[in-house]
Structure 1
Amino acid sequence: MKLVFRQYLASLKERRELDAVLPDLLSELGYTVISRPSVGTRQYGVDVAAVGRDADGCRKLFLFSIKQGDLTRADWDGSPQALRGSINDILDVYIPTRVPEAYSKLEIVICLCFGGDIQEAVRDNVTQFTRQQTKNGISFAEWNGDYMAGLLVNGVLREQLVDKSLRASFQKAVAMVDEPQIAFEHFERLVRGLCKVEDSTPRQRATILRQIYICLWVQFVWARDAGNVEGPYRASELAILLAWHLIRADVPKSTKASEEVGSAFAELLNLHFLIWDELASGKILPFVDHEHAISVAVGSASPVDVNLKLFTLIGRMAMRGLWHLWFAGGGDRLPMARDDWDCPEASELAQQIVQLIRNNPILLTPFTDEQSVEIGSALIFLTMMGGWNQAAGNYADAVIERTVYAFRSHSRYPTIYADYRSLLVHPRERTSEYREGQTKGSSLFPLLSLWASTFGEGMGARFLSEFAEKELGHCNMQFWLAGADSENLLYLGDRSHGASLGGIPITTDGERAMRMLEAECASTTGFENLSAISLGHWPVLAMACRHAGLPLPPDLWLGLLREARSTKAADGED
């Protein structure tokens, strides 16, 4: 276990990685962190400052100066950012001027912190320098990778807190990072085991979140070194959902312990975004404007593999965009459409989603009705972006056209089944009886109908209405609604909760469906009682639906369509 952590620490970068993990490690070991890394302000050599008890039992002020990997001669004294210069800044400026008054009488320990080891070529230089600078009230300590790995094993993941079987799951999750599915399964056992507690205190929940955070960091770093971060990305989504289920009662509270829990959850969320950046920014997003490039990159001759990968990708891109807009909107209670989002990252993602669709036409032919959640996520994101809502309508129109053609030609039309084996052989038969059995219900068609009738050119909505009336009489048009039991099951990935609203009418203008949904949503309270909604974290709900394969509930997006239809009607009157 210690070797795993040593490799992890040695691979961490200095900024946003090692300096992000260290404060959590210190907090869990009983230190009080009084200063964290910041960007844009001069820190005079101190990356992290904390107060705690030293090995002699005395309370001291610890000042950490952080470097990545092994400490080489260049890292020690070969550049303006070298460690020796940072220590001089601490001695000359930070200690005389920046130490808070409350801690000014404490002894000071300057900690040389790095993920690897001190190379022998520079060991004597470091030893002689620290010996000369040691004086009354100021001493030095070496926090190298081996020392911090021991703290992680014996501190955050000590056996009293983490069961032996869970430690084994963690080791397997790290060892199998080049097999994303296997790594994910082992990490899932670990996280579910850590979160399976009863009657826990806020401080205990904060500890659990830090354990998950550090374990996810370790898996991510090992996977990054192996060149495959698919497993950690999936693990990070699961970690966020299970963490939310664990700490949802702490979010509205303002006690110090609850704020500590909220801070730990925010760090977990930031790590999820960091993993997304590693997964998509360098290897996927730069190529979305190349025709068929992403489809070919899947590396499979099976259209099912390409289809599933591409729809998963567009759902992930949309999900990242929704998080961007949630942050930019200041925590709006529900998705809102604006033309003036001050969020260039979201604008870039919207353009990349449109380019991905344009250059990979397989995204116009969903193979399973369950992909309505991926399509719905993309439609919501593009609609929220204001100027991109026409692209949402065009996408709905195009999917309608291709899907109807696939149905009529007995090709790969959306089936009610989503398991891989069924999709590989679908359609087994080219008969009307088989086709009716595969399309008994649909959440995709009513979703497309509403978006096409709101934002499309009109032809797509009319085409789907005529098609549904003539050939989909056997199909139950439906949406999923949250129920009273959803709050305790949704974030755990359970699908057996909530209710199905069936009999959604497919019409050219979509008005009957809108009235039906508005009446039903107004009469039920399951959606309002979801903690992700009542506490203003609606992207957590969207993420939970994607993870469980549930359609996005109409309560989430109905306001977007209602506002757009009102604007459209007002423009028509003018």
Structure 2
Amino acid sequence: MGSNTLMVSDYLGSLKEDTELDYLFPILLNLMGFRIVATPKESKGQPQYGKDIIAIGKDHDGTRKRFYFELKGHSDRDIDDTVLMKRDGIMESLRAAKYTAFNDSSISDFNSLPVKFVLVHNGVLKNNTRPTFEGFIAQEFPDSNFERWDIYRLTDLFSQYLFGEYLLTDEESVRYFKRTLVLLDAPDYDFSDFKQLVQLQQKKITGIKGRSFTKFFATLNLLGVIVVHYSRENNNLEPAKQCLNYVILKTWHWILENGLTEKKAVIAEFRKLLTIHFELLQEYFVKTLPYACEYEGLFAERGGPFETIGYPLRSFDYINFLIYYFEARAYWPGFDETKQQKTQNLRNKQKEILKKLVRENTGCRRPVIDSHSIAILNV
């Protein structure tokens, strides 16, 4: 393996089924030419019957088929006897996928297409489990309508269709990408490599039609998911917050600059970026807001003399992001429109939170720079 392939393999091997893998895999399928019918996000909290992702695509022989993808990751990524045979394990999930029908009359020929079952896991099949697994597959899928995509297959596919085809196609992008991952959690890092990487991807796009457009937004989504993933690994969401802010603002600037605000395909892709950004902020505030609302919760005791300025700077920055999150909450999950009653209910709760935050933190009542007037007006 080359260094880039090893980097892709290492990243994929660390993905968790319920978060990054669920999000990234549909992007890969889309770039491979599949038509996505259903994803885990749409059926969260509901039985999926071994069909995490349902798609239409062409098999190796060119035959158009229904594909039922079952995703296993995190603690289930390596297939051993336990993962294979436990409750909601691989055997149970694949049997459910086989014997539970899924029909969709909105797609003309969907119900009549032949079916292909694919087990996707970002790990390996343990050698001592292989005989049992292969025997199970031979018995349940005698028509050769089953495939297993492990970490090696996923590495090849992601390298070919995502990393290798767009993100890691030139030495400059590779350098910026590697430096971003290495320095992401470094103190006082200004994320300049990440910003350069985003700018470089924007220069590559030649139009809003065809693969160039698709890969451009897939790359931005991929970058967003990656920085969120490693920020979680470092137990510090601030780098991801800063990086995603830049992606959102830079992409919206590109949309405005090219007069694309009325292009539905562009706005639909931009809303996907907004979703990543919103879900990060939601995780960030769930984690920090209870502490921020404590007495002087935004004050840094170890800040020393700097806190004379640092405390109000930090407080107003926190308020600005919180108000943006509150506003976005009214339009989530579609970021299209909202209902007055929903907005009013949210506003009543959000006002109380803001009052408590300002009341408990004197830094929220000491503006020190002109731009703090924006937060005051927003409040």
TM range (shorter): 0.7 to 0.9
State the structure with more CA Rg: 1
Aligned residue type for 1:285: L
- Residue aligning to 2:73: 68
**1:172 and 2:176 matched:** no
- Pairing of 1:138-177 with structure 2 (within 5 A): 138-159=144-165, 162-177=169-184
Structural mapping, 1:542-557, within 5 Å: none
Q: Which residue does 2:355 correspond to in 1?
A: 354
Contact 1:184 1:232 in 2 (8 A): no
Give the aligned residue type for 1:29.
Answer: M
What does 1:534-545 align with in structure 2 at a 5 Å threshold? none
Distance 1:235 1:196 in 2: 18
Question: Which residue in the other structure is 2:5 paired with?
Answer: 2
> Partners in 2 of 1:327 and 1:3 — Cα distance?
37
Counterparts of 1:148-547 in structure 2, within 5 Å, are 148-159=154-165, 162-179=169-186, 182=189, 184-197=191-204, 199-203=206-210, 204-247=212-255, 249-253=259-263, 258=265, 261-282=266-287, 284-296=288-300, 299-301=302-304, 302-303=306-307, 304-327=309-332, 340-342=341-343, 347-377=348-378, 379=379
Residue aligned with 2:226, SS: helix
Q: In structure 2, what is the equivalent of residue 537 of structure 1?
A: none
Contact 1:114-1:143 at 8 Å conserved across structures: yes
Is residue 23 of structure 1 aligned with residue 31 of structure 2?
Answer: no
Alignment match, 2:57: 52
Q: CA RMSD in A?
A: 3.0
State the number of aligned residues. 364
The structure-2 alpha-carbon separation of the partners of 1:329 and 1:6, relative to structure 1 and needing over 3 Å to count, comes to closer
Deviations 1:262-315 (A, max 9, x none): 333222111112221332212x11113321132137x42211222222221111
Alpha-carbon deviation of 1:171?
A: 1.8
> Contact between 1:183 and 1:231, CA under 8 Å: does it hold in 2?
no
Match of 2:101 in 1: 94
Structure 2 residue matching 1:110: 3-state secondary structure: strand
- The correspondence for 2:90, drawn from 83, 90, 105, is 83
Indicate conservation of the 8 Å contact 1:289/1:356, yes or no. yes
Q: Which residue number in structure 2 is paired with residue 561 of structure 1?
A: none
Cα distance in 2 between the residues matched to 1:146 and 1:183: 34
* SS of the residue 1:151 aligns to: helix
Contact 1:357 1:363 in 2 (8 A): yes
Q: Is the 8 A contact 2:206 2:213 kept in 1?
A: no
**Other-structure match for 1:452:** none
CA displacement at 1:365 relative to structure 2: 1.0
- Separation in 2 of the partners of 1:115 and 1:253? 36
1:42 and 1:206 map into 2 onto residues whose CA distance is: 31
Deviation at 1:192, TM superposition (A): 1.1
Structure 1 position 251, deviation (Å):
4.5
Partner SS for 1:293:
coil
Deviation sequence 1:91-122 (CA, Å, 0-9, x none): 11236x56966145544321111233334453
Q: Check 1:84–1:116 CA distance in 2 against 1; reply closer, same or farther (3 A cut).
A: same
CA deviations on 1:296-341 (whole Å, 9 max, x unpaired) are 37x42211222222221111111101112345998569xx9x7x44
Distance 2:115 2:315 in 1: 55
Structure 2 stretches lacking a partner, 5+ long? none
Distance 1:42 1:159, change over 3 A: closer
Indicate conservation of the 8 Å contact 2:104/2:111, yes or no. no
CA contact (8 A) 2:278 2:328 kept: no
How many Å separate the matches in 1 of 2:294 and 2:358? 11
How far apart, CA to CA, are the structure 1 residues paired with 2:82 and 2:68?
Answer: 22
Q: 1:174 to 1:328 in 2, by over 3 A?
A: closer
Distance 1:346 1:179 in 2: 37
State the alpha-carbon separation in 1 of the partners of residues 184 and 221 from structure 2.
17
Q: For the structure 1 residues 312 and 148, does the alpha-carbon distance in structure 2 shift closer, same or farther, using more than 3 Å as the test?
A: same
Residues 1:68 and 1:294: Cα distance change in structure 2 (over 3 Å): same
* Secondary structure in 1 matching 2:116: strand
Instruction: Give TM-score, length-normalised by structure 2.
Output: 0.84
Task: Give TM-score, length-normalised by structure 1.
Answer: 0.58
Distance 1:235 1:113 in 2: 30
Distance 1:129 1:315 in 2: 56
Q: Which amino acid aligns with 1:351?
A: E
The Cα offsets for residues 166-199 of structure 1, whole Å up to 9 and x where unpaired, read as 1221122122221265372211111111112464
- Contact 2:205/2:216 (CA < 8 Å) preserved in 1? no
Distance 2:354 2:128 in 1: 51
What's the secondary structure of 1:286's corresponding residue?
helix
| C-alpha distance in structure 2 between counterparts of 1:364 and 1:31, whole Å | 53
Query: CA deviation digits over 1:139-177, x for unaligned, max 9?
Result: 222222332232222211225664321122112212222
Mapped contact 2:330–2:343 kept (Cα < 8 A) = no
Opposite residue 227 of structure 1, the aligned amino acid is: N
In the alignment, the residues of structure 1 paired with residue 190 and residue 109 of structure 2 have an alpha-carbon distance, to the nearest angstrom, of 46
Structure 1: gaps of 5 or more residues? 380-574
Structure 1 distance, partners of 2:195, 2:335, is: 31
